[in-house]
Amino acid sequence: MAERLQKILSQAGVASRRAAEKLIAEGRVTVNGELVTEPGSKADLSRDRIAVDGREIQGEEEKVYFLLNKPKGYISTARDERGRKTVLDLLAEVPERIYPIGRLDNATEGLLLLTNDGELMNALLHPKYEVHKTYLARLRGIPTEAELGRLREGIALEDGMTAPARARLVEQSPERNESRVEIIIHEGRNRQVRRMCSAIGHEVTALKRTEFAGLSLSGTARGHYRRLTDTELAHLKTLAGMRL
């Protein structure tokens, strides 16, 4: 049965539907050897040859789920035209075609989930589920309670007002004029935590995501990864409104 191309790519674990639309628009997808650039195009995986970057996709792969403790210096994409290191370089032994759920910028470290389950990826990134992400930010200077209050109320950024965050001062060092603040958000805007802190007058000098959707980095060293447990996966699916 013919279906939208971005749906087929998502179900095959190639990328989320939004990311699949971008792959199509960038001219990286072919159907029966013909370039397709319209996201609304349809195909039938049972009879059409669909390829991404020249690599033909098959039916649905076995679903796999990983938690990575991302170091700085890696970008959260499947590939990079500029030749920079990507998070997939850290999971080179994984045979399945996996993709990160959301992104951490090059200078940010911490918890990142990767999977080929497009349905779960889409759900966890959907704003309606308000999946919480916890960050530990090292700031230049020490924010006042009033400044932290602005984060809790929502900050006006160039792309609109943020949702209220949870924010608390974890550590302060007056002699070094720096502090550490824990910030919990459920949005996923580009460089959001850095921009929020900048808006209250404090530059982020180091940033780490310590939790995502209730999962933590406990027991996973920087640069290492592990498979999710059945209990963790069930938790994520429940959070995303999916059947177990």
Residues 98 and 72 in one domain: yes
Clarify whether 105 is annotated catalytic. yes
In-domain check, residue 111 = yes
Nearest residue to 122 (alpha-carbon basis) of 211, 25, 13, 38: 13
Helix (H) or strand (E) holding 225: strand 225-227
pLDDT on residue 202:
98
Residues 138 and 162 in one domain: yes
CATH number at residue 230: 3.30.70.580
pLDDT on residue 40:
80
Residues 152 and 176 in one domain: yes
Residues 153 and 177 in one domain: yes
* Rounded CA separation 145/168 (Å): 9
Contact 204, 193 (CB under 8 A): yes
Contact 100, 164 (CB under 8 A): no
In-domain check, residue 228 = yes
The answer to whether residue 239 scores a pLDDT higher than 80 is yes
- Work out the mean pLDDT of the chain and round it to a whole number: 92
Is the model more confident about 95 or about 231? 231
pLDDT on residue 158:
95
CATH number at residue 38: 3.10.290.10
The answer to whether residue 67 scores a pLDDT higher than 90 is yes
Residues 191 and 228 in one domain: no
12 — pLDDT class (breaks 50, 70, 90): confident
* Rounded CA separation 87/113 (Å): 10
Residues 120 and 187 in one domain: no
The answer to whether residue 199 scores a pLDDT higher than 80 is yes
In-domain check, residue 84 = yes
Residues 121 and 220 in one domain: yes
Sign of CA dihedral 85, 88, 91, 95: negative
- Angle (deg, nearest 10), helices 192-199 and 145-153: 130
Residues 114 and 231 in one domain: yes
Sign of CA dihedral 115, 121, 228, 84: positive
In-domain check, residue 103 = yes
Is the model more confident about 9 or about 94? 94
In-domain check, residue 233 = yes
Note the pLDDT tens digit of each residue in 92-114. 999 888 999 999 999 999 999 99
Residues 90 and 143 in one domain: no
The answer to whether residue 68 scores a pLDDT higher than 70 is yes
pLDDT on residue 45:
82
Is the model more confident about 20 or about 201? 201
Active-site hit among 44, 80, 105, 159: 105
Q: Which of 56, 85, 101 is the last residue of a domain?
A: 56
Give alpha helix (H) positions in the chain: 5-11, 17-25, 118-125, 145-153, 192-199, 230-239
pLDDT on residue 59:
64
What is the count of structural domains for the chain? Answer: 3
In-domain check, residue 122 = yes
In-domain check, residue 244 = no
In-domain check, residue 75 = yes
* Rounded CA separation 32/204 (Å): 48
pLDDT on residue 48:
87
Rounded mean pLDDT, 202-231: 97
The answer to whether residue 197 scores a pLDDT higher than 70 is yes
2-6, 67-71, 90-94: range with lowest mean pLDDT? 2-6
7 — pLDDT class (breaks 50, 70, 90): confident
Rounded mean pLDDT, 52-63: 80
Residues 69 and 122 in one domain: yes
60 — pLDDT class (breaks 50, 70, 90): low
Rounded mean pLDDT, 28-40: 88
Tokens 């700031």 -> residue: 139
Residues 39 and 152 in one domain: no
Residues 138 and 208 in one domain: yes
Note the pLDDT tens digit of each residue in 156-181. 999 999 999 999 999 999 999 999 99
Rounded mean pLDDT, 50-70: 87
Phi, psi angles (nearest 5°) of residue 54: 85, -5
The answer to whether residue 119 scores a pLDDT higher than 90 is no
Residue 40 structural domain? 3-56
* Rounded CA separation 44/137 (Å): 47
